[in-house]
Amino acid sequence: MPYDNKFVKVTVDRGLAVVTLDRPPANAVNLEVYDELRRTFHRLGEDPQMRVAVFTGAGRVFCSGNDVNDFVDLEFDKATEYLAHVRLTFNSLYDCPVPVIGAINGAAVGTGIVLASLCDVRIASEKAVFALPEIDVGVLGGSRHVMRLAGQGMTRSMMYTGRRVPADEALRAHIVDEVVAPEAVLPRAMELAEQIASKSPPAIRLAKQGLNRTEAMNLKEGYEFECTLTASVRRTDEAREGALAFLEKRQPSYAVR
């Protein structure tokens, strides 16, 4: 069944999805886009055949942030309701059961940098820039998500000043994981996605669950939870296939079901 979206395009091939934010001219996000993103990532996670997703933007911009028109004269009660939609969308990306590779093809500003931060791995164009510019229009942004990657000092500097951080600095600050030429962003993200898709699907999903859950745990609690997941994955057919393939010196075969 095709994805019935206006601004979030989805293609799927052999368990690998490409999700493209496509709202010209600069992929600004409004309430409709938030809801489309939320529904898309929920549906991807619920599909048992899905293995990995690539998330990118159409054109030369990944995401330019919130559509400011949505915030003009927005009263407190309406703002609270709006931000609940935003929070649910961010959660749907972070909690998506399959890994999401961010192909950051251009500017990731405001909501854009948050969406990028919520991906599991980020491949960025050398022309990409990153910013938390909400302070310039008198509001606050999603700094907590950026802080998971960049740390306190960098995040505070970005939030207080609204300055734009170029890709090479973002790489040093761990906001992104790789920086490549603009034309190589999507091919590199697809290469990584295909590598992930070749692994055991149950193990990949449990790995993501474990990484997400243990992020908020202390060392001992996190390792105990990880051991529980490791024991549970041993019961799968894919675990047996992986072990047999290793012993037989061949590539494992994990069928999409």
Confidence class of residue 172 from pLDDT cuts 50, 70 and 90? Answer: very high
With respect to residue 239, please indicate whether it lies within any of the assigned structural domains. Answer: yes
My answer on whether 215 and 170 are in the same domain is no
Confidence class of residue 83 from pLDDT cuts 50, 70 and 90? Answer: confident
Q: What stretches of the chain show up as alpha helix (H) in DSSP?
A: 31-46, 76-94, 111-117, 143-161, 167-172, 185-197, 201-214, 219-233, 237-247
With respect to residue 17, please indicate whether it lies within any of the assigned structural domains. Answer: yes
Confidence class of residue 152 from pLDDT cuts 50, 70 and 90? Answer: very high
Under 8 Å between Cβ of 150 and 205: no
Confidence class of residue 79 from pLDDT cuts 50, 70 and 90? Answer: confident
Mean pLDDT of 10-23: 97
My answer on whether 64 and 97 are in the same domain is yes
Angle at alpha carbon of residue 45, lines to 141 and 67, rounded to 5°: 30
- Residues of the chain with pLDDT > 90, as a percent, come to 67
pTM, rounded to two decimals: 0.87
- The domain that holds 66 is classified in CATH as 3.90.226.10
| pLDDT at residue 229 greater than cutoff 90 | no
| pLDDT at residue 194 greater than cutoff 90 | yes
| pLDDT at residue 243 greater than cutoff 80 | no
pLDDT at 246: 60
Give the single-character DSSP code of 163. P
| CB count in 10 Å sphere of residue 145 | 19
- Can you tell me the distance from the alpha carbon of 144 to that of 9, in angstroms, rounded to the nearest whole number? 28
pLDDT at 218: 73
pLDDT at 207: 92
My answer on whether 125 and 208 are in the same domain is no
Confidence class of residue 105 from pLDDT cuts 50, 70 and 90? Answer: very high
φ, ψ of residue 28 in degrees (nearest 5):
-70, 150
Identify the domain containing residue 100 by its residue range. Answer: 8-197
Q: How many separate domains does the chain show? A: 2
pLDDT at 255: 64
Mean pLDDT of 93-103: 98
Of 25-39, 75-89, 144-158, 210-224, the range with the lowest mean pLDDT is: 210-224
My answer on whether 214 and 137 are in the same domain is no
My answer on whether 14 and 94 are in the same domain is yes
